[in-house]
């Protein structure tokens, strides 16, 4: 629907004397109103900022986009280049997981715990995934999220076997929350820290600026440290209202050790790769806010998984596609060995520093 059509529909509403705002408010769930309100506010802020930049003549080209509207051409405009490593077999994915183990100090212990987790979770996980494939409509994005949710819950349960890590999932976090809403804690940050939380985020390259707004589906946050300390810290992160508050909590800690991996879920189609620019845009904004040089990301429909990393150092995003968990993708039967390879890889990736992952992906 075009915006002018939506605007005309709003004008046409006449609900027994109610105002338009009241009428729409009664027809939409509170969570939709809240999310829509935030996004609309950020979109208006972004458009105003773009107009300001154009009037000033500071930039020759100003692009304003929500994450889902970002294209490969937009990424090219700010000199971000993609490196496609193609399709990876489940056997090859297992080999890559093994190389990640080798990067760890206690690699044998960690590998043993991951294997133990699969023994405990594998059978149930395959059954859960199969029930979604056979009992849920294929079209909606909600189906994809149900598959992702089951896998992520298994990864979280894995951390119960560890003494020095805590993993949390931050779903539906707005990456362009109005700075005014976070003024209370932003005022406590240094000028440099606060600048990173300026919303909406502006990515600049030479005379081009790309202004981005939107929400990321899942942020996988891994904290390193003593078990009790990390569990307490994670609890605070899970209560954060938006991603800027998560950044503030991390900045408030002394030399925090953490990993972040983004997951973008899409409905089942034959065009999953078309959404890679969206995942990269989300990675750019998240890494900028966290002051990270690299970050890992994932794009999935719950069946096919595309893993990648992004680096500001070389301004590249590297990615590869894994074999589907069900083959063909529309099958109701889960491939057990593919699911095992995915679970182990995703689990290890959640505990791998992004700079190590980026180097590993480049070497594939």
Pairing label, strands 305-311, 61-66: unpaired
For residues 91 and 39, state if they share a domain.
Answer: no
Q: Please name the residues in contact with 211: beta carbons below 8 A apart, sequence gap of 6 or more.
A: 46, 49, 50, 62, 63, 64, 65, 200, 201, 202, 203
Give the number of domains in the chain.
2
Examine residue 214 and state whether it is found in any structural domain, yes or no. yes
* Strand extents, DSSP E, 159-214: 165-174, 201-205, 208-213
Examine residue 76 and state whether it is found in any structural domain, yes or no. no
Low-confidence stretches of the chain (pLDDT beneath 50)? 15-18
Query: Quick one: which of 328, 270, 258 has its CA closest to 296?
Result: 258
Label residue 276 left, alpha or beta by phi (over 0 means left) and psi (-120 to 50 means alpha).
alpha
Q: Distance (Å, rounded) from C-alpha 105 to C-alpha 187?
A: 39
For residues 161 and 229, state if they share a domain.
Answer: yes
Q: Could you give the 3-state DSSP secondary structure of residue 200?
A: coil
Residue 34 has what pLDDT? 66
Examine residue 162 and state whether it is found in any structural domain, yes or no. yes
Within 13 Å of residue 121, how many CA atoms lie on the same side as its CB?
26
For residues 10 and 125, state if they share a domain.
Answer: no
Q: For residue 50, how many other CB atoms are within 10 A of its CB? A: 18
Q: Is the peptide bond before 200 cis (omega within 30 degrees of 0)?
A: yes
Strand arrangement of the beta sheet that strand 258-265 belongs to: 81-88, 316-322, 305-311, 294-300, 258-265, 215-224, 165-174
Pairing label, strands 215-224, 208-213: unpaired
Q: Is the peptide bond before 328 cis (omega within 30 degrees of 0)?
A: yes
Burial of 299 (0-12, 13-18, 19+ CB in 10 A): buried
Examine residue 66 and state whether it is found in any structural domain, yes or no. no
For residues 243 and 343, state if they share a domain.
Answer: yes
Q: Could you give the 3-state DSSP secondary structure of residue 22?
A: helix
For residues 218 and 355, state if they share a domain.
Answer: yes
For residues 125 and 243, state if they share a domain.
Answer: yes
For residues 94 and 17, state if they share a domain.
Answer: no
Element (H, E) at 300: strand 294-300
Residue 17 has what pLDDT? 46
Residue 193 has what pLDDT? 79
Examine residue 304 and state whether it is found in any structural domain, yes or no. yes
Tell me the residue range of the domain where 278 lies: 81-362
Residue 173 has what pLDDT? 83
Residue 229 has what pLDDT? 80
> What's the pLDDT tens digit per position in 85-111?
999 999 999 999 999 998 875 667 889
């Amino acid at each position: 629907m075009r915006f002018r059509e939506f605007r005309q529909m709003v004008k046409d509403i006449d609900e027994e004397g109610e105002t338009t705002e009241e009428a729409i408010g009664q027809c939409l769930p509170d969570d939709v109103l809240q999310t829509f309100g935030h996004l609309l506010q950020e979109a208006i802020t972004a458009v105003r900022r773009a107009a300001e930049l154009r009037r000033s003549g500071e930039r020759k080209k100003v692009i304003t986009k929500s994450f889902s509207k970002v294209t490969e051409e937009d990424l090219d405009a700010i000199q971000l280049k993609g490196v496609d490593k193609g399709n990876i077999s489940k056997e090859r994915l297992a080999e890559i997981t093994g190389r990640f183990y080798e990067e760890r100090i206690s690699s044998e212990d960690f590998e043993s715990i991951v294997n133990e987790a699969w023994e405990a979770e594998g059978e149930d996980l395959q059954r859960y995934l199969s029930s979604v494939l056979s009992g849920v409509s294929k079209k909606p994005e909600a189906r994809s999220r149900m598959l992702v949710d089951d896998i992520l819950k298994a990864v979280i349960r894995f951390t119960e076997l560890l003494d020095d890590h805590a993993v949390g999932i931050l779903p539906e976090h707005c990456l362009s929350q109005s700075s005014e809403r976070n003024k209370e804690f932003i005022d406590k940050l240094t000028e440099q820290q606060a600048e990173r939380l300026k919303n909406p985020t502006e990515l600049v390259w030479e005379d081009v600026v790309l202004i981005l707004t939107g929400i990321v589906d899942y942020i996988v946050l891994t904290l390193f440290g003593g078990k009790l300390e990390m569990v307490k810290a994670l609890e605070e992160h899970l209560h954060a209202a938006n991603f800027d508050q998560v950044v503030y909590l991390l900045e408030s800690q002394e030399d925090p050790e953490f990993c972040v991996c983004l997951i973008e879920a899409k409905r089942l189609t034959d065009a999953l790769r078309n959404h890679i620019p969206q995942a990269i845009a989300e990675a750019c904004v998240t890494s900028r806010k966290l002051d990270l040089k690299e970050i890992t990301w994932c794009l999935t429909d719950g069946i096919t998984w595309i893993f990648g990393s992004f680096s500001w150092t070389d301004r590249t995003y590297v990615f590869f596609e894994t074999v589907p968990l069900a083959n063909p993708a529309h099958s109701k039967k889960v491939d057990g060995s593919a699911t095992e390879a995915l679970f182990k890889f995703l689990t290890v990736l959640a505990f791998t520093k992004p700079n190590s992952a980026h180097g590993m992906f480049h070497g594939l």
